[in-house]
Amino acid sequence: TAGITQAPTSQILAAGRRMTLRCTQDMRHNAMYWYRQDLGLGLRLIHYSNTAGTTGKGEVPDGYSVSRANTDDFPLTLASAVPSQTSVYFCASSDGTGNTGELFFGEGSRLTVL
């Protein structure tokens, strides 16, 4: 079972470049999330989507955008990357909104911005 697939696994990027991190799930989950994980900090929510066609801002949305054209895909775009966006990015999904269900995470995308 694939679950959640993220791509690329890792990427080195020059500052100022545009980058899209891809996320696809095959569990038909309604809700999807993008987190970043930095050393010494908890996971921080960037953007989320409660259902296809809707998105919302999380704790640290600046410099990032998302779209949710369908249930399965939830790409994260950095329009003009900056070094502070160097991080590990995790995409996650859950089976409902406002629920108590667990999150299922992708394997992460390690992004380095130089």
Of 7, 13, 27, 45, the one binding other proteins by CB under 8 A: 45
Does 112 help bind other proteins (rule: CB under 8 A)?
no
Does 40 help bind other proteins (rule: CB under 8 A)?
yes
Q: Which stretch, 11-19, 63-71, 75-83, 102-110, contacts other proteins (CB under 8 A)?
A: 102-110
CA atoms of 2 and 17, how far apart (whole Å): 30
Structure tokens at 62: 């600046």
CA atoms of 33 and 50, how far apart (whole Å): 9
CA atoms of 77 and 88, how far apart (whole Å): 14
Does 22 help bind other proteins (rule: CB under 8 A)?
no
Does 97 help bind other proteins (rule: CB under 8 A)?
yes
**Comparison of 73 and 107: residue with beta carbon closer to other proteins:** 107
Burial label, 13 (beta-carbon count in 10 A; 0-12, 13-18, 19+): middle
Provide the binding-site residues for other proteins, judged by CB under 8 A.
40-45, 58, 90, 97-100, 102-108
